[in-house]
Amino acid sequence: MISNIVKRTIFMVCAASTLFFQQAYGQEGELTEYLKAGKADANNLIGAYVSPLVEGLSYGLNGGWYHTAKAHKTLGIDIGVSVNAVFVPTSKLTFDPAAVLGPNATVEPVPANAKASTFIGPSGKTEYRLKQDHSVTFNGPEGIDLKGNIGMNVVPAATAQIGIGIWKNTDIKFRYMPEVTLSETKLKMIGFGVMHDIKQHIRAIKLLPFDLSVVAGYTRLSGTTGLEGNFDKPANDQRRQEMTYEMNALLIQALISKKLSVLTFYGGLGYNTISTKVNVVGSYEIVDGDANSVLKDPFGVKYKNSSFRATAGMRLKLGPIYLNGDYSFQEYSTLSVGLGVTVR
């Protein structure tokens, strides 16, 4: 029964995350409208538009690594899923196109002081025009207005993992999501981590009634979203038009927990390191008035973020079944809820 619940939960959260990606990068083909700005300017505009989404998802990948500081006994095991809600800062809902483009850009927003929505931000499109020919205009994509639709600026992320006790109060942890396909989007995930009891090495606190550990975890999410059909491509270049992305999240934290009957209270202090690569690849034929141009691999950006992380949470354990929840204070604060089975 528990196995079926875990499997169904994994399926639902993976499908939800994939739907979010599909909406982000295939939103009626509007994202590729930025390609009309030319390679350099499109790179800057797309980067600003998608950054809150990819950064939020990256921070979400660091959620759910633990629900106690107590390591398993040898060959003890836990299997669970975690659903993470990443809160996007208000400052990330819009961006200043003029500042992003710079003074040497070939396009400009209309009006010049206009603010543009990021993917997470409010609905409403921003108009752009060519500086040399004001008759050539296009609209950038609008935001999906998360706050207006659900009341919060939240990016969802989900993880499924297994933890196994090995030697000297040490757990090794594995994360895996097979490739999930939904329409034009494909996603897959892998990760590994380790948690070690350090209290056993400190004689002065060895017998005190709490658990103290350190945990380190790495998660990699990669995927693609097809962009075919929004622009023509040269007959001699049959490469697929698509967006590719790779997210890498590293977490290191010191953990403490205290068990009281069926409840365990836990907390952690540590650090996040996030790196993400996003690329639009393929050839895109752009029509500028009566002239045509071709952009090859028009977009590529790398995001790097580091942030202090403080976590507080609680776990309820009834027999082998546990339910936990915690909140992490960081650049993109995160609420995590987990469900699973733990033995030994």
- Considering 150-154, 289-293, 321-325, the range whose residues carry the highest mean pLDDT is 321-325
Residue 66's pLDDT is what?
Answer: 94
Domains of the chain: 2-343 (2.40.160.20)
Residue 175's pLDDT is what?
Answer: 92
Residue 290's pLDDT is what?
Answer: 57
Average pLDDT over residues 111-118: 88
What six digits make up the tokens of 319? 């027999």
* pLDDT score of 267 more than 80: yes
Task: Compute the distance between CA of residue 59 and CA of residue 93 in angstroms, rounded to an integer.
Answer: 17
Residue range 58-112, pLDDT digits in tens = 888 899 999 999 999 999 999 998 889 999 888 889 999 999 888 888 888 888 8
* pLDDT score of 17 more than 50: no
Are 120 and 52 in contact, with CB atoms under 8 Å apart? yes
Residue range 243-259, pLDDT digits in tens = 888 999 999 999 999 99
Name 94's bridge partners: 117
Can the peptide bond before residue 103 be classed as cis, meaning omega within 30 degrees of 0? Answer: no
Residue 289 banded pLDDT, cuts 50, 70, 90: low
Q: In this structure, what is the dihedral angle of CA atoms 2, 67, 70, 249, given to the nearest 10 degrees?
A: 110
Min mean pLDDT across 24-33, 192-201, 216-225 is at 24-33
Element (H, E) at 277: strand 263-281
Are 159 and 334 in contact, with CB atoms under 8 Å apart? no
Task: Compute the distance between CA of residue 201 and CA of residue 315 in angstroms, rounded to an integer.
Answer: 26
Residue 28's pLDDT is what?
Answer: 40
Are 96 and 240 in contact, with CB atoms under 8 Å apart? no
Residue range 124-173, pLDDT digits in tens = 888 898 888 887 788 888 888 877 777 778 888 888 899 999 988 999 99
CA angle 270, 272, 275 (to 5 degrees): 165
Helix (H, G, I), strand (E, B) or coil at 204: helix
Element (H, E) at 343: strand 334-343
Are 118 and 303 in contact, with CB atoms under 8 Å apart? no
Residue range 25-67, pLDDT digits in tens = 444 456 777 877 888 888 888 888 888 888 888 888 899 999 9
* pLDDT score of 5 more than 80: no
Name 171's bridge partners: 165, 195
Q: In this structure, what is the dihedral angle of CA atoms 144, 93, 124, 21, given to the nearest 10 degrees?
A: -30
Average pLDDT over residues 297-324: 92
